Structure 1
Amino acid sequence: MAVRASLRDTSGYGSGLRKFHLFCDIFSVPENIRLPAPFAVLHSFALWAATDPTQDDPYLAAVRAWHIAQGWPPPLSLDDHQRINWSLRGLENIYTSRRKPIRPPVTLIMLSTLKGCLQLNDPFDACVWAMASCAFFGMMHFGEISVNSRSDFSPARHITRHGAFFGTDLLGQSYARLDLPSAKTAKPGETQSVFLTEQGDLCPLAALRNLARVVPALATDPLFCWRDSRGDTRPMVRKRAVERVNGILLAHGWGTTFGHSFRIGGASFYLAQKVDPEIVRLAGRWRSLAYETYIRSFEQVASRHLAGLASQLHSSAALGLGTLATSSAAESPACG
Structure 2
Amino acid sequence: MLRTLKQSLDASFPFDACIWAISTCAFWGMMRFGEVTVKSQREFDGRKHLKQKDAVIEEDLYGKLYAKLDLPSVKTAKPGETQSVFVTVEDDLCPIEALRNLNRVVPAQAEDPLFSWRDHKGRIHPMVKDKALHRINSIFSRNKWGSAFGHSFRIGGASFYLSQGVEPEVVRLAGRWKSLAYEAYIRSFEQVVSRHMGNLTQGLPPSISS
Length-normalised TM-score, structure 2 = 0.84
Q: SS in structure 2 opposite 1:177?
A: strand
Q: Distance in 1 between matches of 2:40 and 2:48?
A: 13
Q: Distance in 2 between matches of 1:137 and 1:184?
A: 20
State the one-letter code of the partner of 2:62.
L
Determine if the alignment matches structure 1 residue 272 to structure 2 residue 163.
yes
Q: Which has the larger radius of gyration?
A: 1
Quick check: 180-189 or 223-232, which moved more? Answer: 180-189
Post-superposition offset of 1:190: 1.2
Equivalent in the alignment of 1:113: 4
Determine if the alignment matches structure 1 residue 144 to structure 2 residue 35.
yes
Q: Deviations over 1:211-244 (max 9, x none)?
A: 0000000000000000112111001111100100
Q: Distance in 2 between matches of 1:171 and 1:184?
A: 33
State the one-letter code of the partner of 1:259.
G
Q: Distance in 1 between matches of 2:25 and 2:74?
A: 15
Q: How many residues are paired up?
A: 180
Equivalent in the alignment of 1:126: 17
1:63-102 equivalences under 5 Å are none
Equivalent in the alignment of 1:263: 154
Q: Distance in 2 between matches of 1:287 and 1:112?
A: 31
State the one-letter code of the partner of 2:19.
V
State the one-letter code of the partner of 1:242.
L
Q: Deviations over 1:21-72 (max 9, x none)?
A: xxxxxxxxxxxxxxxxxxxxxxxxxxxxxxxxxxxxxxxxxxxxxxxxxxxx
Determine if the alignment matches structure 1 residue 234 to structure 2 residue 125.
yes
Q: Distance in 1 between matches of 2:77 and 2:6?
A: 30
Post-superposition offset of 1:182: 1.1
Q: Distance in 2 between matches of 1:240 and 1:147?
A: 10
Q: Distance in 2 between matches of 1:153 and 1:280?
A: 29
**Which of 70, 79, 84 is equivalent to 1:179?**
70
Post-superposition offset of 1:199: 0.4
Equivalent in the alignment of 1:32: none
Q: Deviations over 1:223-278 (max 9, x none)?
A: 00001121110011111001000100011010111121000000000000000100
RMSD of aligned Cα (Å)? 1.1
Equivalent in the alignment of 1:248: 139
Structure 2: tracts of 5 or more residues without a match: 180-210
Equivalent in the alignment of 1:205: 96
Q: Deviations over 1:171-191 (max 9, x none)?
A: 111000000011233222211
Q: SS in structure 2 opposite 1:116?
A: helix
Q: Distance in 1 between matches of 2:77 and 2:20?
A: 25
State the one-letter code of the partner of 2:23.
A
Identity of aligned residues (%): 60
Q: SS in structure 2 opposite 1:234?
A: strand
